[in-house]
Amino acid sequence: MQALSLSQHFVTRQNMKNNRNLFLASRHIVLWFTVVPLLLAACSGLSPKITRTPAPAERGFQINQPKKDQKFASPAQIEKITPITNFEYRLGPGDVVNIKIWRRPELSQEGIIVSPDGLIAIPRVGSVNVLNLTQEEVQKIITVKLEPLYIKPEVTVWVREFHNNKAFVLGRVGKPGVINFPGRGTLLEGLALAGGLPDQGKLTRCAIIRGRENVIWIDLQDLLKNGNMALNAPIMNNDVIFIPELNDELIYVMGEVLNPGAIQLKDGMNVLKAIMLAGGMNKNANAEKVFVIRQQSVNGDVIRVDFKRLVERGDFSQNFALLPDDIVFISPTGMAKFNYTLDKLTPALQILNLGTSDAETFGIMAKLRQNLWNQSGFVNSSTTTTGN
């Protein structure tokens, strides 16, 4: 009996020792699965550092967008480089001219083409330089040359085809190239003759280049959308109308939204609109920690927006207007960082879900129940315990 008792005592102590070691081992495993990921999660992900307090009246972060600096020509500036005198067409290379001399059919001519150097040829008169002359001025020159030969010659000159009232339209138009105006041309007429604007809603400006010194920029949005006809500048011969390529200004939405990426900046864009255009926040977003990052200098400025307060209480004091190249960053919740870290630790840990099934998956709880409570079986998400 004494030998049996000693044997039982030894077995009991050995079981207790094994159970203790198994318990310590399981505790270490559980601690490793929980503490280590938490430490790693604390170091993972972006976390902007606030440089400004959320005050809507602060310079650089305001509810309304600031007024744009004057980059376009005013009506007064347009008039300054455009002669006020009445429009008079002046002949140039390529024009087709008819000349009628009353009762002198042998001198009358039709379809005379002005040469590249501005000359035309007339019987009994010879070559006449008509470059940059009006029809009346050409009539006087021909009359003076014929007066020694004929009594009171009556000369009539008119232009049959106009080719010297032209402009060069380049850039974002339907048919770039040379256009000819039948009369006094305007900017809108020139754009129409060039095929119109394929991206009318996006194009914001065009340049009129006149000579070697004058360049004016026209606000196309004000002209086309608002109908400000004072900006419909007169076009002179040999002007260049240039519509630059699209110059979209962008903002960037990052973090916990459905569709992060770049968004075209439109009038009235603010934090709320930017997040909605990015698909809205996902389930991992922390609505209380939305950051607007603005490039004011090399370091930039960061301000925090409580989006939850904005939506729940209708507090739009932080619904800041966005400027080009602003970054809107939506922070993740702490649990989102934790789960992200678990997924990245090892492929074997991707089955963890922070519940009792973790220990069941690795067989820890089954062994503990066998040694501590003499139970057998499995526990899963659909059952409690099985077996005795």
Please state, in angstroms and rounded to a whole number, the distance separating the CA atoms of residues 318 and 301. 15
Do residues 207 and 237 both lie within one domain?
yes
Average pLDDT over residues 215-223: 91
Q: What is the pLDDT of residues 314-371, one digit of tens each?
A: 888 889 899 888 999 999 987 655 555 555 554 444 444 444 455 555 555 565 556 5
Is 206 contained in some domain? yes
Question: Pick the residue with more confidence: 174 or 40?
Answer: 174
pLDDT at residue 130 tops 80 = yes
**Lowest-confidence pick of 19-33, 101-115, 169-183:** 19-33
**Residues 170 and 146 placed together within one structural domain of the fold:** no
Domain co-membership, 256 together with 328: yes
> Same domain, yes or no, for 80 and 213?
yes
Q: Between 58 and 172, name the one with better pLDDT.
A: 172
Q: Provide the residue range defining the domain that includes 298.
A: 250-332
**Quick one: CA dihedral 327, 332, 338, 339, positive or negative?**
negative
Q: What single-letter DSSP state applies at residue 104?
A: -
Residue 195's CATH number: 3.10.560.10
Model confidence at 34, in pLDDT bands (50, 70, 90)? low
- The pLDDT score that the predictor gives to residue 381 is 44
| CA–CA gap between residue 50 and residue 344 (Å, rounded) | 28
pLDDT of residue 126: 93
Look at residue 345 and tell me if it is in a domain: no
Using CA atoms, how far apart are residues 345 and 339, in angstroms rounded to an integer? 10
Classify residue 65: in a domain, yes or no.
no
pLDDT confidence of residue 384: 45
| Least confident among 221-235, 298-312, 327-341, 353-367 | 353-367
Least confident of 160-164, 242-246, 308-312: 242-246
Averaged pLDDT, 133-157:
94
Terminal CA-to-CA distance of the chain, rounded, Å? 30
- 4 and 12 in contact (C-beta within 8 Å)? no
Any domain includes 89:
no
Domain count, the chain: 4
Residue 259 inside a domain? The answer is yes
What CATH number does the domain containing 146 carry? 3.30.1950.10
Q: Are residues 184 and 80 in the same domain?
A: yes
The answer to whether residue 64 sits within a structural domain is no
User: Are both 184 and 313 inside the same structural domain?
Assistant: no
> Do 223 and 79 share a structural domain?
yes
Last-in-domain residue among 144, 161, 178: 161
292 assigned to some structural domain: yes
DSSP 138-186: HHHHHHHHHTTTSSS--EEEEEEE--SSEEEEEESSSS-EEEE-SSSEE
* pLDDT band (50, 70, 90) for residue 300: confident
Domain boundary among 243, 265, 290: 243
Please state the rounded mean pLDDT for residues 364-382: 55
- Whether 22 shows a pLDDT value over 90: the answer reads no
**What is the rounded CA–CA span in Å between residue 64 and residue 329?**
20
Question: pLDDT category, 205, cuts 50, 70, 90?
Answer: confident
Per-residue pLDDT reduced to its tens digit, 77-88 = 888 888 767 778
Residues 183 and 316 placed together within one structural domain of the fold: no
- pLDDT band of residue 265 (cuts 50, 70, 90) is confident
**What does the pLDDT read at residue 318?**
86
Which of 58-62, 143-147, 176-180, 251-255 is predicted least confidently? 58-62
Q: How many CA atoms lie within 13 A of 382 on its CB side?
A: 0
pLDDT of residue 348: 46
Is residue 80 domain-shared with residue 220, that is, in the same domain? yes
- Is the domain of 15 the same as that of 32? yes
115 plus 230 within the same structural domain: no
Answer with the one of 190, 208, 243 that is the final residue of a domain.
243
The chain-wide mean pLDDT, for the chain, equals 78
Are 206 and 133 found together in one domain?
no
* Domain-embedded: residue 35: yes
